[in-house]
């Protein structure tokens, strides 16, 4: 991305897209009973509340009535249908992990099989996006947390804490390629979760090889533990590599969420908040609901002079339901340099 003269002026930036992550599968309802919905009706209402507060993208997970994260695709279908009816303009983004919550205290935080995760392409009604992780990596989500972040929560249990400390993301090349193909065939946009510059570079190669032919919509995930650290240097290094047509949302965890989002707002990027990422206000004196976090970002962005994206603008910016016919078209529209014609393209071209 290029930052030319005036690029920090709000009139030269896109309206801000706020992604809400209100379902927080790593927490149990007792951790924040005022803000963790359990019944289907409450989960749908949470989407409505986030939308009314200013969020236009909903990062969606589902809970069972016992409060645990659901791994049943039928429950995802039910929630997607309910959200579609209640807030039809909201962009629905299904978390591609489905739910990585441990099955029981002390159990490993395991992801579902590859075949089951591929079934996200068969959700009905179909979501607008599914998050796609690229490259297997450590996902120690608790690495940069302070002990005070977990006081009074289920994470104080050493067995639960260790389950999240030891979590990994399985995203091998074969699975990624097949997953993208199935999502695209179903008309679902791949929202790439990039944990560092390496995973982004792999996404670019997928585009250059014609495996992914669509808008480049992605999250920079800065939560440490195998992913980038939430600081200016990591962000600048990542942003510098992106083409001008990319749509980038910044994401962090705990009390790093707000400062990273403030950087994103100032730079013309997009933001994500919610209890999946952070439970606290910035002084850690009380828990902060997803809706309160959204309203805070709306206020800050407006004080910057940057308007909040309408649902129509968010869909246009993300180019929802848009796919391209070739690698060349995908590269051009996203702002990449073209593939070289002829000659040795190294690993960018498959052997016949």
Token pair 């986030």: residue: 50
Strands 189-194 and 129-133: parallel
> Rounded CA gap, 37 and 65, in Å?
10
Phi-psi region of 123 (alpha: psi -120 to 50; beta: other; left: phi over 0): beta
**pTM of the predicted model as reported, rounded to 2 decimal places:** 0.94
Angle among Cα 33, 34, 39 to the nearest 5 degrees reads 70
**DSSP for 63-83?**
B-TTSSBP--HHHHHHHHHHH
The pLDDT tens digits along the chain (352 residues) read 889 999 999 999 999 999 999 999 899 999 999 999 999 999 999 999 999 999 999 999 999 999 988 888 999 999 999 999 999 999 999 998 765 555 555 565 556 777 878 999 999 999 999 999 999 999 999 999 999 999 999 999 999 999 899 988 889 999 999 999 999 999 999 999 999 999 999 999 999 999 999 999 999 999 999 999 999 999 999 999 999 999 999 999 999 999 999 999 999 999 999 999 999 999 999 999 999 999 999 999 999 999 999 999 999 999 999 999 999 999 999 999 999 876 545 455 444 4
267, 229 in Cβ contact below 8 A?
Answer: no
Residue 278, token pair as written in the block:
């952070």
> Rounded CA gap, 88 and 344, in Å?
48
Q: Which of 276, 278, 273 is nearest to 299 (CA)?
A: 273
Residue 82, token pair as written in the block:
């309910």
267, 8 in Cβ contact below 8 A?
Answer: yes
Q: Which of 203, 219, 215, 296 is nearest to 258 (CA)?
A: 296
17 contact partners, CB below 8 Å, separation of at least 6:
56, 57, 247, 249, 270, 271, 309, 314, 317, 318
> Rounded CA gap, 340 and 295, in Å?
47
């Amino acid at each position: 991305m290029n930052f030319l003269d005036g690029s920090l002026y709000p009139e030269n930036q896109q309206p801000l897209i706020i992604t809400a992550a209100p379902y927080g599968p790593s927490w149990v309802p007792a951790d924040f009973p005022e803000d963790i919905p359990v019944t289907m009706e409450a989960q749908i209402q949470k989407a409505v509340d986030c939308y009314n507060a200013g969020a236009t993208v909903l990062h969606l997970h589902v809970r069972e009535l016992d409060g645990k994260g659901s791994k049943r695709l039928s429950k995802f279908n039910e929630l997607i249908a309910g959200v579609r009816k209640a807030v039809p303009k909201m962009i629905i983004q299904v978390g591609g992990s489905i739910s990585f919550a441990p099955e029981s205290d002390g159990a490993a935080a395991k992801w579902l099989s590859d075949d089951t995760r591929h079934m996200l392409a068969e959700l009905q009604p179909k979501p607008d996006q599914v998050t796609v992780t690229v490259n297997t990596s450590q996902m120690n989500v608790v690495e940069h947390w302070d002990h005070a972040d977990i006081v009074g929560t289920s994470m104080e249990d050493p067995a639960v804490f260790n389950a999240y400390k030891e979590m990994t993301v399985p995203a091998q090349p074969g699975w990624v390629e097949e997953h993208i193909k199935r999502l695209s065939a179903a008309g679902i946009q791949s929202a790439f979760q990039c944990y560092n510059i390496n995973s982004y570079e792999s996404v670019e190669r997928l585009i250059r090889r014609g495996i992914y032919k669509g808008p480049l919509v992605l999250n920079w995930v800065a939560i440490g533990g195998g992913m980038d650290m939430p600081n200016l240097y990591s962000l600048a290094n990542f942003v510098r590599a992106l083409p001008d047509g990319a749509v980038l949302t910044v994401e962090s965890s705990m009390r790093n969420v707000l400062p990273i989002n403030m950087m994103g707002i100032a730079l013309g990027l997009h933001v994500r908040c919610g209890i999946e990422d952070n439970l606290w206000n910035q002084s850690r004196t009380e828990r902060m609901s997803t809706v309160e976090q959204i309203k805070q970002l709306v206020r800050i962005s407006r004080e910057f002079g940057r308007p909040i994206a309408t649902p129509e603008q968010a869909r246009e910016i993300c180019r929802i339901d848009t796919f391209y016919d070739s690698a060349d078209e995908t590269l051009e529209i996203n702002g990449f340099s073209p593939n070289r014609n002829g000659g040795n393209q190294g690993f960018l071209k498959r052997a016949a």
